[in-house]
Amino acid sequence: MDCEKTVESIVEFIKEEVGKARAKGVVLGISGGIDSALVGKLCVMALGDDNVQGLFLPADKDVNSDSRLVAKYLHIYANAIPIGDACQKIAMLTGAFDPVPLGNIKARMRMVVLYAHANKNNMLVAGTSNKSEMLTGYFTKYGDGGCDIEPIGDLYKTDVWTLAKHLALPPSIIEKVPSAELWAGQTDEKELGVSYPKLDIILKLIAAGAINATYIASKAEVTEKVADDILCLYGRTMHKRKMPPIARKGY
């Protein structure tokens, strides 16, 4: 990957999309992770720090120190809006207290808050999903998958690390274990069952047309089960990457 050309391309993309929408800028959730930090950096490069609004959206009362570090590094103003109480009320109404459905409620509540802010201030919502997450469906539909633009949506996770180092993001953010932090002890790689470097090799093979788990396993140096699991994940999450299917009239 040519880092300079990639940065130039993404920065131009952000400028064009905000300009076409006649928006004042972008708003994004600042989680303290590498993806939102990189998106924030690219948006600031494209629009200037005055036109990038960050939101801290903790599921409890406290904003984590990494989120504050990212906002300080980007020189952007960030509001803290705790979403925990609202999420608990929805969970009580629906009985969705298990980790996965409750985690999805949190992700969707963050989307609601981001869009409320965007609507109020004539801004676009900048998504923070990378290509590895998108191809595996490792995001919440109408949650963190709900946005107006995806600046790093064509970057695999390993590309994200490379670009973050190129742009000199804080080392502690780059080295942080990837996690959506939707429940205690949750990490991306633990849930996916494979490291991101191995996952990206698998996804590139699938993108090139590989569909045989044995072949993919040998190339990525993973077990056949891991290769088959990722193939299945790619297939069954296809609906997350498309608009909802429309039933056509029978006449």
Instruction: Give the residue numbers annotated as catalytic, written as ranges.
Output: 35, 133
Phi, psi of 7 (to 5 degrees): -60, -45
d(CA 53, CA 143): 19
Q: C-alpha distances in angstroms, 239 versus 78, 130, 131, 137, 197?
A: 33, 17, 15, 9, 25
Q: For residue 82, what is the DSSP state?
A: -
Structure tokens at 60: 């409890």
Task: Tell me if residue 123 falls in helix, strand or coil.
Answer: strand
Instruction: Say which residues have a Cβ less than 8 Å from residue 82's Cβ, sequence separation at least 6.
Output: 57, 58, 59, 60, 61
Structure tokens at 70: 């990212």
> To which H or E segment does residue 69 belong?
helix 65-74
d(CA 241, CA 194): 21
Is residue 118 within 8 A of residue 27, CB to CB? The reply is yes
